[in-house]
């Protein structure tokens, strides 16, 4: 009997790089993306079609997409913050687009300068337009557990937003622990409620490791039937509009944990350490997840 497959969606080229002091050129970002593809990452979020004045690290998104038009062995997705961004992404050849409404009023104001109601309306309109264009769609619910401005989030709000996104055409809902404030108990409870409402097949998890609980939170989600997760090479990340949002769950940690638990990811685990080193050289900063020291010893021993 083959091992059960868990889909890892790499978000380093977007979420990981958007808040770094060193800004990589589109060519360098394409080099990183191609390395990740060679390591058999099944999905990669490669860019955000946001105003580069707001997020300079995401400048050159059309160039990124142009360099990936021939890729057919990896799900290439992009983030779009508004209808203008969606139109630019569609023109650039995007096949999978993601919207990111936050679950609280203040976070939406800080993130995209819209109210909660405006953000939901905008996201729904984008999803409808994407469906008309036969594009695949994903909808995040940011700060699904806790907001840096308003504190803990009522799960009913999360389920309501998810329901509206699905009704507007979202193919997938990603619950995001944007500031890493969730714990295995709260993760299990929210996913249990969402699975009961929507089924587990269209749900995914996005965890930050601020409080060192990202891997434990993945295990809690796995127990509820979730089989898809975002992660970020080297543990890069942190939202520029969310105080206290430390790095994402490191891809190398997630892939190795799942491998040791008996799940299948199809990822070349040895190549992940090499990609972390590439990112360190490009960003002039030490990187790596909690397993990095052990992984480096394992690589040298082979």
Q: Which two tokens stand for residue 205?
A: 């998890």
d(CA 79, CA 219): 26
Residue 27 has φ and ψ, to the nearest 5°, of -65, -45
Tokens found for residue 32: 């990183």
Tokens 């996005």 belong to which residue? 206
Query: Annotated catalytic, 74?
Result: no
CA-CA-CA-CA torsion for 205, 207, 212, 213, nearest 10 degrees?
A: -20
Rg over alpha carbons for the chain, rounded to the nearest Å, is 18
Which one of the listed residues 74, 124, 239, 279 is annotated catalytic? 239
Cα separations in angstroms, 259 against 97, 164, 232, 252: 29, 35, 17, 11
Which residues are annotated as catalytic? 239
């Amino acid at each position: 009997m083959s091992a059960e497959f868990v889909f890892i969606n790499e978000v380093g080229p977007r979420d990981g790089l958007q808040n770094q002091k060193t800004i990589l050129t589109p060519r360098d970002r394409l080099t990183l993306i191609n390395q990740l593809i060679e390591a058999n990452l099944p999905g990669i979020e490669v860019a955000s079609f946001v105003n580069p004045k707001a997020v300079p690290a995401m400048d050159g998104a059309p160039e990124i997409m142009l360099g990936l038009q021939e890729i057919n062995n990896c799900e290439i997705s992009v983030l779009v913050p508004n209808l203008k961004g969606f139109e630019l992404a569609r023109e650039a050849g995007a096949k999978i687009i993601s919207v990111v409404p936050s679950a609280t009023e203040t976070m939406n104001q800080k993130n995209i300068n819209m109210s909660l109601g405006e953000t939901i309306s905008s996201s729904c309109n984008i999803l409808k337009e994407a469906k008309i264009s036969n594009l695949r769609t994903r909808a995040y619910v940011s700060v699904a557990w806790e907001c840096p401005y308003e504190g803990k989030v009522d799960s009913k709000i999360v389920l309501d937003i998810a329901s509206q996104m699905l009704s507007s055409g979202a193919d997938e809902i990603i619950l995001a622990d944007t500031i890493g404030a969730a714990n295995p108990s709260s993760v299990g409870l929210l996913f249990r409620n969402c699975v009961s409402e929507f089924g587990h097949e269209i749900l995914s998890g996005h965890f930050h490791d601020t409080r060192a609980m990202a891997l434990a939170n993945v295990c809690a989600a796995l127990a509820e039937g979730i089989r898809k997760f975002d992660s970020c090479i080297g543990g890069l990340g942190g939202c520029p509009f969310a105080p206290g949002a430390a790095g994402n769950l490191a891809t190398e940690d997630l892939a190795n944990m799942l491998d040791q638990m008996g799940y299948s990811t199809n990822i070349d685990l040895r190549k992940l350490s090499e990609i972390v080193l590439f990112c360190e050289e490009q960003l002039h900063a030490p990187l790596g997840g909690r397993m990095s020291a052990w992984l480096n010893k394992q690589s040298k021993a082979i």
